[in-house]
Amino acid sequence: MGVLTSFSGIAITIAGALLGVLLGIAIFTFGYAGGWAYLGSDPATCNQCHAMNEQYNGWLKGSHKNAATCNDCHSPHDNIIHKYVNKADNGFWHALKFTTRDYPENIKIREINREITQEACLYCHGNLVDDISEPRKFATTVGAHSTRIDCLQCHAEVGHMR
């Protein structure tokens, strides 16, 4: 019994040390990368990485510069937990892609973020587009199907003028 207890104690110590090292690296990386800034709403934070220069410069020239920040269009408005879970998800993928240098030159929005941006459009402009934003019935050769108007289909350049 003594050998088993001793082995368990060593395994727990090693596991604790590894967890501590990983947590220490994560905290250091978060601090070194200015992670605390991402909890706020300053658009300059999103431009900390050169890969976002085109998007940031486009926002500076766009019609939303004086009306909306990055978070207004790219974070959920339904509740604060969803907002920060989304920010953590995006932060993880951004950090991973930039650390491994595995990001495309032409950054594309992920589908989940496209949906969040669509909802943000309706959050601010919903009363303006109520009549056209509801699902519509369209006749097709296969039959009728319901589809929703997508703001970004026509207005993708609004937030990031090019």
Residue 37 within any structural domain of the chain: no
**What pLDDT, in 10s, does the model give residues 99-152?**
788 877 777 889 999 999 999 998 999 888 776 655 554 444 445 545 667 888
72 in a structural domain: yes
The CA distance from 28 to 33, in Å, is: 8
Q: Are 113 and 74 in contact (CB under 8 A)?
A: yes
Residue 26 included in any domain: no
Range of the domain at 70: 50-155
Total count of domains within the chain: 1
| Residue 11 domain-assigned (yes or no) | no
Dihedral of the CA atoms 23, 49, 112, 101 (nearest 10)?
Answer: -70
59 lies in some domain: yes
What does the alpha-carbon distance between residue 137 and residue 147 come to, in Å, rounded to a whole number? 7
Q: Is 3 within a domain?
A: no
Determine if the pTM surpasses 0.85: no
Residue 102: give its domain's CATH number: 1.10.3820.10
